[in-house]
Amino acid sequence: MNNLENFKKLGLSEKSLLAISKKGFEKPTQIQELTIPLLLQNTKDIIGQAQTGTGKTAAFGLPILDQITENTGNVQALILAPTRELAVQVAEEMNSFRGGRKIGVLTVYGGQSYDQQFRRLKKGVEVVVGTPGRLIDHLKRGTLKLDQLKFVILDEADEMLNMGFIDDIELILSKTPQEKRVLLFSATMPQRIVQLAQKYMSEYEIIKVPSKQLTVNLTDQIYFEVRASDKFEALCRIIDVEKEFYALVFCRTKLKTDQLSNALIDRGYDAASLHGDISQAQRERILSQFKKQRVTILVATDVAARGIDISDLTHVLNYSLPQDPESYVHRIGRTGRAGKQGTAITFVTPSEYRKLMQIQRVSKSEIRKESLPKVKHLIKLKRERIVSEVNEIIEAGNYHDHLNIANELLAHYPSDQVISALITHAYKDEFSSEKYTEIHEPGTKHVPKSSRKSESSPDMEGITRLFIALGRKDKMNPHKLIALIQKEAMLDAHLIGDVEVYDNFSFANVPFEEAEHLIETFRQKGRDKKPLIVKAKGKTKSTKKPSSRSRRKR
């Protein structure tokens, strides 16, 4: 029990210490050291600010399990999570912390069978972990009883806000007993989260992991400055130059994740995409393949990647720049875990450089600039790896099964021809420079035809004309409209052009790849359940670029 002395000092029960011992924990994380004693020793509510991967589930799970009455069948703890994956992960962790206690833990989320959930709830459980939508369904049906509730935990509260769940959370909280403890955990503290805390929490303590702990020391952080149209080629070069590439690749939109993963598969890589439109069965299958490394590159949106806990990723790659420093920290925190060195790579276009510098300053990160590997270097590296791998096979003696074939070939041809033919057969065009497309330095004016991407490229450039259901009657002008888009969608102002404001509606141009993100962001903000922004009919791909005229209006 020597390794558990630090946990024992926090006041945990013997059953919790037994569970910790089985999981191999040796030292509590900072959020655990701060949270566990507070939960055990007083009755205040708690606001905890800490990033993903800091051990928050154990911080609230262990002391809550110590205070739950066993084998009652009454729901005593309700845990809200933004995604199915995170809900499943939290439930699995809670189960592993039980330490032999007769406490039932149930996960409820959309896409799962109602009948199965009804049976478990009717039989009785002490802890329910779920997503807001499905929890509301059960409350409306009367299948989820909260009259004996002792704890409500809001996990990843800022993500639930980003996903538009804030009203659902308020509805759920309004159905809970007055006498309970509320725990709110969030990586960031937007004003709306603070307002939620003030409304539904009584006297509370604030626990905050110092900002110097928010970045991951074991993560090597680098960036490449590339044209938007060269990102895919840049990614392929990075994958090929690395001996191991087991990575999460982040994109901003669902459309981009599908485009990029399909392009990677076409190029011969083991890739898959993960986003909000994928069914639960598909999600579970994709995550299983990723964890088993049958898929080695998972292209995902931020929301879909929540709850993915894989400790041996070699890389996290920001294909699209994160919206803010907190999102950057969330992403890169997924590599460099468990004492292993990890690499975080970020692609930036010239226009995004300022934003990257802001991320670096606020997150207190050291992000250095690197140059993309040259084609000659990649081909040389591949040849060296083949020589090294063949040497390892010979030294290990793992070639005897094919000696008959080798002798048969050598009986007819010289050895150098046989080896060369076998390499050609196995690797085909792997050593051809034609496999790679030329990458041009950002800022160059002319791009040769041979280097332009085809229409199927995941980085197809173009401009989308958007229809916006706001106009002069809504006190809008070009300056206010651009400011609104900037605020809600975190879109750089210079990317918004040709703004035209009329009495009842407006038009604006944005780059093709930003359009879906904008439409998705404003989907829930329209009138009478109609989206506020849609693609303009007949003008989906305007030839007009963001103009200097519209920028002067700002």
- DSSP class of residue 433 equals G
pTM: 0.51
Q: How far apart, in whole angstroms, are the C-alpha atoms of residue 3 and residue 96?
A: 19
- The residues spanned by each domain of the chain are 2-213, 219-372, 376-435, 463-553
Please give the structure tokens belonging to residue 472.
């002069």
pLDDT at residue 234 in the model: 92
Q: How far apart, in whole angstroms, are the C-alpha atoms of residue 55 and residue 61?
A: 10
Task: Calculate the CA 454 to chain-centre distance.
Answer: 28
Say how many C-beta atoms besides its own lie within 10 A of residue 104's C-beta.
Answer: 19
C-alpha distances in Å from residue 98, one per residue of 65, 436, 468: 7, 53, 52
C-alpha distances in Å from residue 174, one per residue of 64, 127, 160, 194: 21, 19, 17, 17
pLDDT at residue 543 in the model: 40
Q: How far apart, in whole angstroms, are the C-alpha atoms of residue 69 and residue 350?
A: 58
CATH superfamily of the 219-372 domain: P-loop containing nucleotide triphosphate hydrolases (3.40.50.300)
CA-CA-CA-CA torsion sign (19, 21, 24, 27): positive
SS3 331: helix
Burial 227-245 (b: 16+ CB within 10 A, else e): bbbbbbbbbbbbbbebeeb
Same fold, 2-213 and 219-372: yes
CATH superfamily of the 2-213 domain: P-loop containing nucleotide triphosphate hydrolases (3.40.50.300)
- DSSP class of residue 3 equals G
Q: How far apart, in whole angstroms, are the C-alpha atoms of residue 542 and residue 461?
A: 11
Say how many C-beta atoms besides its own lie within 10 A of residue 395's C-beta.
Answer: 8
Strand bridging mode 204-208 / 151-154: unpaired
- DSSP class of residue 294 equals S
- Three-class SS of 475-503: CCCHHHHHHHHHHHHCCCHHHCEEEEECC
Q: How far apart, in whole angstroms, are the C-alpha atoms of residue 470 and residue 489?
A: 16
Yes or no: say if 135 and 85 are a contact pair by the CB < 8 Å rule. no
Residue 210's H or E segment, with its range, is none
Q: For residues 144, 145, 151 and 157, what is the CA-based torsion angle, rounded to 10 degrees?
A: 30
Task: Calculate the CA 368 to chain-centre distance.
Answer: 22
Q: Which CATH number fits domain 463-553: 3.40.50.300, 3.40.50.2300, 3.30.70.330, 3.40.50.10540?
A: 3.30.70.330
Q: How far apart, in whole angstroms, are the C-alpha atoms of residue 263 and residue 188?
A: 34
- DSSP class of residue 77 equals E
pLDDT at residue 457 in the model: 46
Q: How far apart, in whole angstroms, are the C-alpha atoms of residue 294 and residue 296?
A: 6
Yes or no: say if 209 and 49 are a contact pair by the CB < 8 Å rule. yes
Burial class (CB in 10 A: 0-12, 13-18, 19+), 222: middle
CA-atom Rg of the chain in angstroms: 27
What residues contact 241, with CB distance under 8 A and at least 6 apart? 373, 377, 378, 381
pLDDT at residue 385 in the model: 78
Block means of pLDDT (10 residues each) for the chain, 554 residues, are 75 90 79 92 87 80 95 95 84 89 92 86 95 93 94 90 85 93 87 86 84 57 89 91 90 86 90 85 88 92 71 88 77 67 88 82 84 84 80 82 85 85 75 72 51 42 80 88 78 75 89 76 65 71 39 33
